[in-house]
Amino acid sequence: GMSGSGPADAAAVAMVMIPSMMRSGYPREFSASVIAAGASTAILIPPSVALIVYSLIVPGTDLRALFAGGIIPGILAGVAIMIPALLLSRRHDFGVAEDTQRLPLGPTFIRAIPALFAPVIVLGGLRTGLFTPTEAAVVTVTYGLIIGLFVYRSMRVRDLYQLFVDSAVTSGVIMLIMTLAGIFAWAGATLGTFDMAANALLGLSDNEHVVLALIMVFLLLAGMVLDGISIYLITLPLLMPVMTAFDWSPVWFGVVMAMNIAIGQFTPPVAVNLMVTSRIAGIPLERTIPWTLYLVFSMALAMTLVIVFPQLVTWLPEMLGYQV
């Protein structure tokens, strides 16, 4: 989850893991499904780009509280993916082939410690007030460059130019989306469209659970075709009046939104994570559906727990002294 983006994580992990899983006896369809589902937790586990955008849009929301609030639901989502993956593997005898590429766990983990230290730097710096979220991004990128160039030596100095170009293009796309979404939000607020839409939604029922269920269905459908950042930018101006009307915790609601969007990222027929992993696996997306549905159902149960028990989100931020 270091990229904070589901499709980016899906691509990075699938390139490495799908060949390894095939050597270990896992079919391509199953491998692509599990990796797509696992990559969706990138927008829950810090540092999540979607939660950063949410904190910028919703006034008074503490990014540190959002990051802390996403940890327990992120772990729940991970467990919800692991359990059916394990049960299906045992039921169908996946993973029984000999994998000659297997590495010893201890030395491999020790070698990974420098990379795993990145989120510690981010959360530690935010917690202590050493730097702001924007500065945390700069620190993390600088740390990643140092580790990649001098510790793992997986990058070369001559690779930096293309990396900077790719980063500039990605940043430009995001900034363009945010600019257009800002115009959309301004127009909707000025014309009163969002207030009318919110009143129409509230007019369907005065029961907050019914309204929340309708919002969750809508977000799931949106998550199937759009990335998390776009969904936040487009829907939050509409949903903020509803959130205020029912006095929902902005931290809890932001994490629940992220969890719902994460499910949409690997829910057929249109699923950005699944499109990435299917392409890398060299299979049609339709062949992953029988396996993906198990994972969707299991993660939906985890999201239901987070909705029914908001303390799963709010407990850790409150323990750390953040406003939820």
Residue 148 domain-assigned (yes or no): no
Phi/psi of residue 32, nearest 5 degrees: -65, -40
Whole-number pLDDT of residue 99: 55
Place of tokens 């930096």: 160
Q: Note if the pTM is more than 0.85.
A: no
Whole-number Å distance between alpha carbons of 217 and 197: 16
Whole-number pLDDT of residue 144: 86
Span 70-110, pLDDT tens digits: 999 999 999 999 999 999 999 999 987 665 566 788 888 88
Instruction: Assign 309 to helix, strand or coil.
Output: coil
Whole-number pLDDT of residue 78: 94
Whole-number pLDDT of residue 2: 66
Spell out, as residue ranges, where the chain has pLDDT lower than 50.
Answer: none
Neighbouring C-beta atoms of residue 235, cutoff 10 Å: 19
Phi/psi of residue 209, nearest 5 degrees: -70, -40
Give the DSSP H or E segment for 133. helix 133-146
Whole-number Å distance between alpha carbons of 141 and 147: 10
Query: Are residues 182 and 229 in contact, defined by beta-carbon separation less than 8 angstroms?
Result: no
Residues with Cβ within 8 Å of 184's Cβ and at least 6 positions away in sequence, in order, are 233, 234, 237
Number of domains in the chain: 1
Instruction: Assign 89 to helix, strand or coil.
Output: helix
Name the token pair of 196: 């009318």
Domain, as residue range, for 57: 6-103+175-319
Say which DSSP state 132 is in.
-
Residue 246 domain-assigned (yes or no): yes
Residue 122 domain-assigned (yes or no): no
Q: At what angle do helices 49-57 and 63-91 cross, to 10 degrees?
A: 150
Whole-number Å distance between alpha carbons of 165 and 289: 36
Closest alpha carbon to 35 in 23, 17, 47, 48? 17
Whole-number pLDDT of residue 98: 60
Say which DSSP state 23 is in.
H
Residue 163 domain-assigned (yes or no): no
Say which DSSP state 236 is in.
H
Please report, for residues 51, 171, 276, the alpha-carbon distance to residue 302 in angstroms, rounded to integers and kept in the order given.
Answer: 19, 32, 24
Query: Are residues 211 and 202 in contact, defined by beta-carbon separation less than 8 angstroms?
Result: yes
- How many helices (H) does the chain have, and how many strands (E)? 14, 0
Residue 131 domain-assigned (yes or no): no
Query: Are residues 81 and 298 in contact, defined by beta-carbon separation less than 8 angstroms?
Result: yes
Residue 145 domain-assigned (yes or no): no
Residue 95 domain-assigned (yes or no): yes
Measured torsion, CA atoms of residues 152, 140, 178, 226, in degrees rounded to the nearest 10: 50
Whole-number pLDDT of residue 181: 64
Whole-number Å distance between alpha carbons of 19 and 68: 34
Instruction: Assign 99 to helix, strand or coil.
Output: coil
Name the token pair of 321: 């002294």
Whole-number pLDDT of residue 100: 57
Residue 47 domain-assigned (yes or no): yes
Neighbouring C-beta atoms of residue 20, cutoff 10 Å: 13
Whole-number pLDDT of residue 15: 85
